[in-house]
Amino acid sequence: MRKTPGPPDAAPGSERSNDPYLPDHGNSGYRVVHYDLDLDYRIIGNRLGGKASLTAVADQPLSRFAVDLGRFRIHDVRVDGWPVKYTHRGHKLSIKPRGPIGAGETFRVDIRYAGTPQPLSGRWGDIGWDELTDGVLVASQPIGAPSWFPCNDRPGDKATYRVAVTTASAYAVLVTGELVSRWRGASTTKWVYERREPTATYLMSVQIGRYQLVDLADGGIVQRAAIPAGLRDAFRYDFGRHGQIMATLEGFFGPYPFPEYVVVVTADELEDPVEAQGMAVFGANHVDGRRTHERLVVHELAHQWFGNSLTVANWRHIWLNEGFATYAEWLWAGACGQSTPDALAAQWHDELARRPATVRVADPGVERMFDPLVYKRGALTLHALRKAMGDGSFFAFLRAWVAEHRHGTVTTEEFRTHAQRFARKPLDGLFDAWLNRPELPPDLTR
């Protein structure tokens, strides 16, 4: 906690981040190192009460600062135990401490809030805390974290967490992290989770439902699932190769980066699965007893390495998440004999050749962040790199990239520099053609 006052000319913090795509989410001037959240949720009525403690470090002198928080009633705000003045407009809670905070100082912010949690509206639809038919789903990428807790909502500001959720005992609660305690009262149960690895705000998640807990695989990494009872048989077949998938991806990318992996299948249908830290969430429509969606199982697991352990410094680098997760699908197809990466690369090169070349993968723009072109062409970039480097150098490079940036943040520029260390010839031409120009380069598999 702060022990000495900051300089009298402390500057205000910014209510904008340095993310070129989403500058209104996140705040500059400080970074959060730990969140402590105590949440009380009433499923009937959709009411959330929260107590949040944020431990932060000032990157510059601060006379005021902001956190991101949705439309809740604010009951109290304190900085280092002192009540302070604040304003709350939109999803910005602006805070003025009693005295300036000096650069490098650690400070604590305590916020009590309550209300009806609602997803935040954005260009990708409603994102964040969302009611299911009977329970809750939290899918926060890229702007939904303020829908349920006060935070510095930018991907490069990774912190540790303790999250306690109290709700009706009939429901299971799963939070991204390790379950450290569970206390059952007369009608409610308090679930306490800890996330010890640095984690981006958008990768924190809460899932509440009438779930059965089952094992995904035996031995090695703990792999569990929470599923509706009626999907148990179909789930057992659809996810029956999960242990093999985990081992295969570890062979390509190196050790799984977290203590466990949890799959949640909601009773509701979802348009797309969602990754969180050490967790993935699927809809009932993704479980059909025929392994129709196994590639998505691989995709979400791959995000634990690419996106979750290695997190983009800002959203411009999103291809480093989605290109790798897509390429993991192709690697698994080759490993299990369904197809080969060469065949899939050729297939998708033909498909993209029929589409307008309008996206620069390394900087697709905020409107095209989640465009399928970013996913598929990102994967094609990796396959072109593999062809140029050779399998031995390529997979050595990948494992070193994962190990050296474990639980950190990454950029395209760092990726290019790292790859060059393992290549016998310059890669600038390859990267410029695949990442910086919209025109589709030739297919290297033919």
Q: Which residue ranges make up the annotated binding site for Zn(2+)?
A: 299, 303, 322
- Point out the annotated binding site: 299, 303, 322
Please compute, for residue 430, the number of CA atoms within 13 A of its CA located in the half-sphere on the CB side. Answer: 21
Angle at 42 between CA 36 and CA 46, to 5 degrees: 100
Would you call 15 a catalytic residue per the annotation?
A: no
d(CA 213, CA 208): 13
CB atoms within 10 A of CB 9: 8
Catalytic entry in 30, 113, 375, 414: 375
Residue listed under structure tokens 């977290």 = 258
d(CA 269, CA 284): 5
Which amino acid makes up residue 52?
Answer: A
Residue 320: DSSP 8-state: H
CB atoms within 10 A of CB 287: 24
d(CA 128, CA 326): 24
Q: Where are the alpha helices (DSSP H) in 114-254?
A: 232-238, 242-253
Would you call 404 a catalytic residue per the annotation?
A: no
Task: Please report the DSSP string for 228-273 in residue order.
Answer: -GGGHHHHHHHTTTHHHHHHHHHHHH-S-SSSEEEEEE-SS--SS-
66 contacts 92 by C-beta, under 8 angstroms = yes
Catalytic entry in 15, 300, 329, 414: 300
Sorted by sequence, the CB contacts under 8 Å of residue 71 that are 6+ apart come out as 91, 115, 118
d(CA 77, CA 398): 45
Please give the backbone phi and psi of residue 322, each rounded to the nearest 5 degrees, phi first.
-80, -35
225 contacts 239 by C-beta, under 8 angstroms = yes
User: For residue 192, is it left (φ>0), alpha (ψ between -120 and 50) or beta?
Assistant: beta
CB atoms within 10 A of CB 336: 14
Sign of CA dihedral 46, 51, 54, 55: negative
| Active-site amino acid positions | 300, 375
